[in-house]
Amino acid sequence: MNLFRLFGDLSHLASILILLHKIQTTRSCRGISFKTQALYVTVFVARYLDLFYDWVSLYNFSMKVFFISSSIYILYLMKVRFRPTHDPSIDTFRAEYLVGPCVVLALIFNYKFTFPEVLWSFSIFLESVAILPQLFMLQRTGEAETITTHYLAALGAYRALYIPNWIYRYFSEGVVDPIAVIAGLVQTALYVDFFYVYFTKVLQGQKFELPA
């Protein structure tokens, strides 16, 4: 464990807490893509099922349990509790266009052709693009509540912080994980546009609005 990874994980944790806070306080899931949230459940379940047979640490175990349970809880909030506030007509990105190619990529690129390893690869690939329905929705509506942008910023910062973590691990442990690194770079790159508007507008106290 190093500070980059710790802060990356804490940022990931924070993003979920911000999202839960947004939904609970506004009693609405307006502006949140259900498809992206459903993809995250898929990602966490596919990757973290090893918590039943592979012990890493208490930290690792608790985080996995938290990510799986909170993401499922968010789906419940969106589909059941605050269902009327979710508008599927603007959440139109075709998620199957993401899942399909990720399955194919995982079958080709994995560290071992076993079920858990292919699932692991699949989850890494899917995570890298799972934010696309959300970003697409943002693009369509052209604006977002400030709290939603904080959620996205924390989520983007998480994978961005993993990059220095991998560089650190390369030098300190001599290990490199090409699948995670390449997918992580893609994942972070997808946030570039968002971060530009976030830094130049939201953090200056303005509303998140995309140029028409």
Partner 1 sequence: TKPVTHHDEL
Residues that bind partner 1 (CB under 8 A): 5, 9, 12, 50, 54, 56-57, 60, 63-64, 67, 111, 120, 162, 165-166, 169-170, 174-180
Nearer to partner 1, 28 or 60 (CB): 60
Our CB check for partner 1 shows the closer of 12 and 22 to be: 12
Q: Which SS3 state, helix, strand or coil, does residue 150 take?
A: helix
- The CA distance from 6 to 12, in Å, is 10
Of 63 and 95, nearer to partner 1 (C-beta) is 63
User: 44 vs 151, which CB is nearer to partner 1?
Assistant: 44
- The closest of 178, 182, 138, 139 to 159, measured between CA atoms, is 182
For residue 104, the tally of other CB atoms under 10 A from its CB is 12
How do 143-144 and 208-209 pair as beta strands? antiparallel
Report the alpha-carbon distance of residue 134 to residue 152 in Å, rounded: 9
Shortest reach from residue 46's CB to partner 1, in Å: 13
Those residues whose C-beta lies under 8 Å from the C-beta of residue 26, and which sit 6 or more positions away, are 145, 147
CB of 84 or CB of 174, closer to partner 1? 174
Q: How far is the CB of 111 from partner 1 (least distance, A)?
A: 5
Q: Are 36 and 78 in contact (CB under 8 A)?
A: no
Nearest approach, Cβ of residue 198 and partner 1 (Å): 23
- The least CB distance from residue 174 to partner 1, in Å, is 5
Supply the minimum distance, in Å, between the C-beta of residue 148 and partner 1.
23
